[in-house]
Structure formats: structure tokens, C-alpha cells
A and B are shown apart, each in its own frame.
Chain A
Amino acid sequence: MRRFNSTYFRDFDWVLLGFVLLLSVISVLEIKSATLQTKFRGFETKQVEFLIVGLILMFIISIVDYHTLIDIAPWAYGVSLVSLVAVRLVGSKVLGARRWIKLGGFHFQPSEWVKLVLIVAVARYFWGLAGRDLSWRDIGKVFALVCVPMAMVLLQPDLGTSLTYVPILVCGLFLGGLRIKQAAILLLVFALIGGIAWKSGKLLKPYQKARLTAFMDPDNDPKGSGYQIRQSLIAVGSGGIWGKGTNKGTQTQGDFLPIPYTDFIFAAFSEEHGFVGAVGVLVLYFLILMRLIQNAQTASDLPGAFIIMGIVAVIVFQIAVNIGMVVGLMPVTGIPLPLMSYGGSSILFTFLALGIVMNIRIRRFVN
């Protein structure tokens, strides 16, 4: 046991944790600034509480061998589906969507941890394939694996979170050996289905469609669908190179920027800390992601690498979509920025995911 402890602390990725904590501190400070003039004032202390809980969970999950997690993945997957059904039945409705379950005073968003379960489940599935060529049947199975919970989340409706399941699937297929021909066919089929779905208007609600297209021309409807994106662009752009300073962002403090402590926190940060600050955050993300990929490289087995890369895929996807939205390159989808946005479920996902990464790293010399 003693030996384990020393190995544990030695092999724990302190560098990664350092970067993560640095970003978390930046996040807490920006949440404080962004909520200063709002009724959400003081949310930064709640965020700190979430971070502490996240850190504890991270340490706990890093102790349990990740192979155990892989072993219980089918069970966890089952529970996931049940929780998604439950949220439809007993979930509390916020802004027209049922996403939350109340658990002992906490609002819990099952769709976040389903993400984690999916990462492990997909890793387990490809491990089971043991490196053989992917048949269409295999592809069909992995699609079913991801798309069933995804459809349930989409129906909540929560377009944003359901989209974060896509990178898990794509990453799995990419690493699992999808051939170029297969990829091309899949792309074609999805382009077709997407086109038809868009036209028919059944899958997406009109407000979702309006939000998805508004980013291309935010001035078209500056008071309606284009409002959020327009205010975000103004916030980021007016920050300039050096920013307006903490608590001095006029867009953030004047309540022009929508939800500046969650989805648009990067806009608030960019307004107050400018291009220099924003690039600093991007660099931190880069270091964290490179460190994660490095851990995937050193993982002792295939599922370990798969899991880490699944996590990387989800984080990269969320960064791309969230910051892309904030700078006007992507539509508004309501996807939080990992490690920056306020919110317990998002933090818990991120730190549980990091715990699993630590877990895999610690066991990289096993076998």
C-alpha cells in the first residue's frame, strides 16, 4: 500500500493539474466580474465549491482502476438511459426544456455524465473489436450506441449537449480504423439526412434554426435571433488588444452580453482582458490538450488511449463550438466552455474525466 501511495503521487499528472487549476482560477475571477452587476452576484463562490467537489471526485476516481470502469460500462450505460428517461418524467422544466433532476438540493444534469459513460462505452466497444477492420455492421452498432442517448437528449430539448456526443462517435470511428471510403459514404449520407431534416423542419424547432443561422448575419435581426451573437462580437471586439480591465467591460457590466458567466464567459473575458488575455487562455487550452494527448500516447493499453482521446475530442469540440460561437464563427448552440463556464455539471464532468486520465496515467506501466 505504501508503495502504491508513493507511485500514486509520483505518477499523478501534476503539470496537467497545474494548468487546469490555473484556468479554473481565471474562470472564478471572470465569473466574479461577470456577475457583479447581476442578481447572480457571488456565483464565483459556488463555482469554487463545485471545483472542490470536482477535485475530490477526481482523486477518488483516479484510485479505482479504469478497467473496472470499462467492466461496469454496460451497467452504467443502462443507468444512463434510465436517468435520461427519468429526466423526461420527473425533471424540472427550465426555459421550456427538461434537463435537470433534483437530487438532494442539487440540480443535476444527467446528460453531462452520460457523456462520460459514452466515452468509456465507446472505448470498450472498440477494444472488443480488437483492431479488426470495421464492417458496416460494426459501424451501425457504434452509431446505435451513441445515437440512442443522443436522441433522448435532443428531445429534452438540449441541442447543445446532444451535439457534444458527436465527437465521441467521430473520435471512436477515427481511432477505431474507419476507412476513407466508409468515411466518405457516411459523410454523404449525413449531409443528405441533415439537408432533408432541415428542410422538413420537424427535427429542429424554429428558434433553434434561427439561432443556428443567425451567426452568419447577426445584423439581420439585431434585436432577435442575432442579438446574442451581435453583443458577443461587440464585447470581444471592443476589448481590443489589452482589454478594458477587470470589472470594466461595458458589455459585460451593462448586461448587454447574454449570460456572461456561462456560455458567453469567453466573450466577457476577452472584453475585459483583450486579445492578450484571450490568447493566454487559448495557450493554456493548448497545453492542457497536448498534455492529454501525450497521456493517451503513454497509456498502457488501447481502451486507456481511447478514453483519453474521447475526452480530448469532447473538450476540443466544446472549445471550438463555444469560442467559435463567441467570435462569430459558429452558431449559438448553448455549449459551455470547459473549465471556464460556470456550472456544476460541466465541472463535475471535466474533473471526473481528468480523474480517469490520471487513473490511466498512473497505470501506464502496468502489464
Chain B
Amino acid sequence: MENTPQAEVVRAGNEEKLAPGKLHAAQYIVALVLVVLLGGLWRLQVIGASNYRLLAEANRIRKVPVLAPRGKLFDRDGRILVDNYPSVTCYILREQIRDASKDSPELALIARGLNLTVDQVQSILRHYQLAPKYEPIPLKKDITPDEQAFIAAHRDELPELETQDEQRRLYPSDGFAAHLIGYVGEVSEQMLDDERYAAYSAGDVVGRSGVEQTYDAVLRGTDGYRNIIVNSHGKEVGQLGQQLAVPGQDLKLTIDLDIQMAAEKALQGRNGAIVAMDPHTGEILALASRPTYDPNAFAVRLTKAYWSQIINDPEHPLLNKAIQAQLAPGSTFKIIMSVAGLEENVAQDMRVNCAGGATFYGHFYACDARHGGVDIHNAIPLSCDTFYYTLANRLGIDTIAKYATALGISQKTGIDLPNEASGTMPSTAWKLKTQHAPWYVGETISVGIGQGAVTVTPIQLARALGGIASGGAMQRPHVVFPDEVPSELRQAIAENFPGSGEKAFPLSVPNWQLITDAMAQTTITGTAAAVHMANIDFAGKTGTAQLVSQNFGAKGMGSGANRANAWFVGMVPRRNPDIVVAVLVEHGGFGGAASAPLAAQVINTFVTKKRKQDNNLVVAEVPKPKPAETPAPGEAVAAPQPAAIKQSSPAAE
């Protein structure tokens, strides 16, 4: 190459020319530049093509979930209990936010349009900080038509706002059957760590309580998705493909809406629980607990105020008292005592003279009245404590515990609802294990009348007393017809909700007759005579469980928060009953006065309905909806099914 400057300009007279060398150099430079650019193109379009193609697709294709509507819940006659309603949720695309600062006019506009505060918007953004940026996050659920109109009108200014149609749960109002049905909520972090929730991902709606929780697997359905094409502003410009959502399966509950309504109405203004069950099958006909809560408040924007109100309520509205309250059964326990006494051949010939109580081991144990001469036949209707103190003393704690346990006390019933409590049945082994102390014989006396350390749940009492009236045949209580769900799920539920389940207690026929007759006498001349119903074979047992600690014999109702819990377990008819109802009224006082009338209302509703149906007022059978299909809305109001009436079948097996 020529480097000397002198050579670069060739001068020949007027002829001035650039040195060809320099022009050649220029050509090389041009070629070099183009080759470098070619290299750049090769790098992107040949080597990196597949990678960039993915990025381009990710740019423009957005996977939008199509949420499956949850299965609806019907009562046993096909009447709707829980429905869905169409709702719109506002999502925010964080990638599209230009200014997320506190004083941002953009956030201020969003907040104003959605009736939120800027702080709320920012706290939602913070809450989802760790979620991938491209994922839209829910800003406000169940927005109003005004808010929808705002989003539509500000599409250009606020491209980050998106709406999505969803189906939301519509629960009965006023907390009707709230504890039975439960509620749904977003899946929690702890749940996501649990392998049982492997199929769920963050943001999914999951049943958090009641039937919604137990049967979530069939109710939830399968979400679908749509692959949409968007432009750089996030505006949908086309669709590539979609996977349809599979709606959740509808479920028919064993609940009878009429009886449930009677139970809810009976409990109005009280604290406690009512559970009604068909002892032939274990089908729960009604289950109510008070105080209650509004599950609708959980489904959409649960406010902090409502949550703290519920959590701090001393009466624990979230507690399903029908299966979770563990309380002394009081005199209702005397039926179990009677079974033990008769089966042990102790009670048959036992006669005591009730002088308003008796003394055992140096302590006087009081009775409600001076009953005079009492035997097993009138001890039940009179609910004579002296008789059962004596019987308990003769049997001993471990014999009582043996029978009580066999009848399901201190064991979960295995009902298909979450968080069932087991209650307690004391025994020498139990005391040694829990208190590392020997059992004192004196403690047995109180157990004889359902006081002391013995605690039960209403569902346990219903199952035990209903089972005794059925000749010892006890069923696993359940709120969903087993044939409604696939067998694997049925199996899984049986495993996840262990309990005493179905069981046949070997009760001898004379003892069965004796006890059931005595329970029938209770509503005629006994402690529940006030609720006697003409032409109804109504049997039952009252209970008044004192809360003041066992002051050996101090009999009294107590008052206020110490007022005794009122129990009643009633059934119709006395033998092989079609319905058994357990009623608990907390601090209600005397069981015969506070609880028995509530049971009578429920039972009266049941009997009246049954009699109407028996008079051929039954509408023809409507085929029940096939699983995995959404029924047409019209089917929701189906006629009562004959399945509602079970002709009493022989029970003792």
C-alpha cells in the first residue's frame, strides 16, 4: 500500500486524480462494513432464529385462562342451594404500567375509576411482586358495571387494565347452611406446599371449608385457556387456539331444604347447633350452627373489618358446632348408660330410692327431684340422676367407656366435612395417659349423668342415639350421596375423614325395646312432655349439662355464660326412626325447655312433609343431572324426589 502522502495525489498538469490505492482501500472498507453487517444478520437470523422466534411468539401470544364454573349444589330434592353468578374481575398488566410511583397520575386515575385508593393499588402490586411480570394480576374482583365502563372508556390511556369474565359463588344469604356448605377462597401458600394440592396453582380458587372443601376435586372442574394474539399495547387482535373449560360437577346433597330451613329457623337468635340425620343411611337431612357468617363475604373481597369481626367473635361463628363443639352431653348420656347397664345385666333389676340425691364415697350427689322408687323404665323419662349415679358406680368407669366407645363416643363419626372433633370418653387408661394420674372411683359418679370429663359433639349424639333406636345399626353420617362422586374420590374421602363409620352394635332386642319405649315416654310424661305431639311417635332424651365445675352435688342451672347447655336428641318413630335430631342450645338452660321444642319443630316439619308425600302429593321423578355436565338453569328447580322418603326398614342386623 502506498502510505506516503506525496503519492496520493497524482498531478499531471490540469489532470488531478485520486490515487487508485485510496479508492481501492475505500472499496475494501465498504466491503468490510457490509460483511460485518452480514455477520450480524447471520448471528440473528440463522444462528439465533429459533430463540428469537420464541421471543416473538411470547411477545404477541398471551395465554388467558378460561375459568371453569364450579359445580352447583342441590338439595336432595334437586332444589338449588349454591349457584354461580357471572362476574367481572379487573386485572392489571404490570408490563404496561408506565409510572407506578406514589404520585403517579396514572395510578390515581386507576384508583379513582375502580373506587380504590392509590395505597390499595400499590399494596396489591407489592403483594404480587414476586409473580412473573407478564402475568396479569387481579386488581379488583366483582367490579360494578360503572367500573367496567370506566375500563372500557380508558382503554387507550390505561392499556394495563384488562377484564375477565368469571363465575362466582352465590351462597344463600344470612349464613343459611354456611357451615355445611363452606366457602371458597384463593389457595394459600401452605396449601400449595401440600402434595394433596399438587393440581392447584397460585391464585386458584379452592374450597376452604364445608362441602366446598371436601368435594373440591369434583366441584372445581378444569380451567381452560385461550391463546390470544395481542399487539404491543396488549390489545387483543386475534386468537390462535383454545382449550375449553370443563365445568365442575354439580352435587346433590343429602340435605332436605325444608328440614334445613326448619332447623335454621329454630336456631334463630340462639347459639348452638342442630343436626338431623336419617339413621337408616347416615344421610344428613339438616345441619345448622349458630352464630353463623356470610360465606359470600369470603368469596369476594373479604374486608379486614369483617374478618376481624369473625375471628374475634367469642362465639366463633366459623366453628361448625354440629361437628366441632365438644361439650358435656349431660343427661342425654343416660341412654348410653342404660345400654351399658342393660347389656351388662345390671340395670334390669336395679331399683333405687331417690331422695333428691345420694352419697357416694363421702360426697352427696344431688338429683333434680325426689323421685322416690326408680327403676330403668322410669329412670329415663324422669332423668333421675340418683339412679344413674348408682348405675355408674356399679358398672365402673372402664365398662362405661367400653360401651360409650362402642357407640362412637370419643371417636369421629367420619362425616364428610372437614375438621370434625372427636370428643372425650374418660377411662382409667385415658386418665393415666393424659394426666398421668390414677382414676378415682368418685369421678365415675358424675360421668354417669354425662358430666365430668366426658364430652361429645352433636353429630356423635345423633349417631349414637339414632343407632341405639335402630337396634344398634349405626351409619357413617354424610352430606353428599356417595353415588354422586367417582369411587376413587369416595375412597379418598373415607380415608381422609376417618371415623367409626358404619357399625353394628349388638343390642339385644328386649333392651332395645325397653330403651326406645322409655325415650318415647320422655315426650309423653317425662322431661320433654311439654313438646308432646299428638299422633307422632316422638321419642327422645333431654340433657342439661352444667358448666359450673362439678362441685359434687351442687345442682343448679347457672346463669349467663355459666348457664347450662341445653341438649335434646329426638327421633321419629321410636324404633327404627326415619329421622334423628340432635339439638344443642348453648347456655340454653333446661334441655326439655330450651332444646326439645326446637327438635320438635324440625321433626314436625319432617313428619308433615312425609305425610303430604305419602298422600300421593309427590311429583314424578326427575332424572338427576348426569355427572360432568352442566344442567340447564331450568333444571335447578326440580321436583322433590321419592328418594326423599325412606320407608323404614328393619334396622337390627
Contact = CB atoms under 8 A, between A and B. Distances in A.
Interface of A: 37, 127, 131, 133-134, 174-175, 177-180, 223, 231, 233-241, 250-251, 253-256, 270, 274-275, 278-279, 282, 285-286, 289-290, 293, 296-297, 299, 301-302, 305-306, 309, 312, 316, 319-320, 323-324, 327-329, 367
Interface of B: 3, 5-6, 8-9, 11, 14-18, 20, 22-23, 26-27, 29-31, 33-34, 36-38, 40-46, 48-49, 51-53, 55-57, 59-60, 95, 229-233, 237
B6 to A, nearest CB: 8
B9 A131 contact: yes
Contacts of A290: 27, 30
Contacts of A367: 14-15
Contacts of B44: 233, 236-237, 270, 327-328
Contact of B41 (A256, A275, A285): A275
Given A309-B18, A328-B40, 11 more contacts: A131-B11, A175-B22, A179-B5, A240-B45, A240-B46, A254-B230, A255-B233, A293-B27, A297-B20, A309-B26, A316-B30
Contacts, number: 157
Contact of B231 (A174, A255, A279): A255
Contacts of B38: 279, 282
18 contacts: A133-B6, A177-B8, A180-B3, A236-B52, A237-B48, A238-B56, A240-B49, A241-B46, A241-B49, A250-B57, A254-B59, A256-B59, A286-B34, A290-B27, A290-B30, A296-B18, A297-B18, A316-B33
Given A236-B52, A255-B232, A316-B30, A275 B237 contact: no
A327 B59 contact: no
B46 to A, nearest CB: 6
Contacts of A316: 29-30, 33
Contacts of B29: 316
Nearest to B47: A237
Contact of B55 (A238, A239, A324, A327): A238
B636 to A, nearest CB: 44
A316 B22 CA distance: 16
A131 B44 CA distance: 45
Nearest to B37: A323
Nearest to B20: A297
Nearest to A313: B26
B564 to A, nearest CB: 68
Contacts of A238: 49, 52-53, 55-56
Given A223-B95, A286-B30, A293-B27, A237 B9 contact: no
B41 A175 contact: no
Contacts of B9: 131, 177, 302
Given A177-B5, A234-B59, A305-B18, A270 B23 contact: no
A344 to B, nearest CB: 26
Contact of B45 (A134, A236, A250, A299): A236
B16 A327 contact: no
Contacts of A329: 36-37, 40
Contacts of B49: 237-241
Contacts of A297: 18, 20, 23
A278 B23 contact: no
Contacts of A309: 18, 23, 26
B132 to A, nearest CB: 13
Nearest to B27: A293
B237 A254 contact: yes
Contacts of B31: 286
A251 B20 CA distance: 45
Contact of B56 (A235, A241, A285): A235
A270 B8 CA distance: 40
Contacts of A237: 44-45, 48-49, 51-53, 55-56
Contacts of A179: 5
A301 B15 CA distance: 6
Contacts of A279: 38, 41
Nearest to A303: B16
A256 B37 contact: no
A309 B17 CA distance: 12
Contacts of A323: 37, 40
Contacts of B95: 223
A251 B59 CA distance: 8
A249 to B, nearest CB: 9
A273 B60 CA distance: 19
A67 B167 CA distance: 81
Q: Which of A127, A238, A250, A312 has the most CB of B within 10 A?
A: A238
A127 B18 CA distance: 11
B37 A234 contact: no
Nearest to A367: B14
B45 A302 contact: no
B23 A293 contact: yes
B18 A270 contact: no
Q: Which of B15, B16, B237 has the most CB of A within 10 A?
A: B16
A214 B352 CA distance: 99
Contacts of B17: 299, 301-302, 305
Nearest to B95: A223
A270 B45 contact: yes
A133 B5 contact: yes
Given A175-B22, A297-B23, A309-B26, A256 B231 contact: yes
A16 B26 CA distance: 18
B55 to A, nearest CB: 5
Question: Top 4 closest A-B pairs, CB basis?
Answer: A237-B52, A327-B40, A131-B9, A238-B56
A175 B18 contact: yes
A319 B57 CA distance: 29
Given A233-B44, A234-B52, A312 B37 contact: no
A282 B5 CA distance: 33
Contacts of A289: 30
B41 A327 contact: yes
B160 to A, nearest CB: 12
B37 A327 contact: yes
Contacts of A177: 5, 8-9
Contacts of A286: 30-31, 34
A176 B45 CA distance: 40
Contacts of A312: 26, 30
A302 B18 contact: yes
B37 A296 contact: no
A234 B317 CA distance: 57
A316 B29 CA distance: 9
Nearest to B40: A327
A36 B323 CA distance: 67
Nearest to A223: B95
B545 to A, nearest CB: 67
Contacts of A320: 33, 36-37
Contacts of A327: 37, 40-41, 43-44
B12 to A, nearest CB: 11
Contact of A251 (B36, B56, B229): B56
Nearest to A330: B40
Nearest to A289: B30
A180 B8 CA distance: 13
A26 to B, nearest CB: 16
Contacts of B56: 234-235, 237-238, 250-251, 256
A312 B28 CA distance: 13
Contacts of B233: 255
Nearest to B4: A179
A231 B60 CA distance: 12
Contacts of A299: 17-18
B296 to A, nearest CB: 39
Contacts of A180: 3
A302 B15 CA distance: 8
A250 B30 contact: no
A265 to B, nearest CB: 15
A340 to B, nearest CB: 13
Contacts of A240: 45-46, 49, 53
A121 B229 CA distance: 53
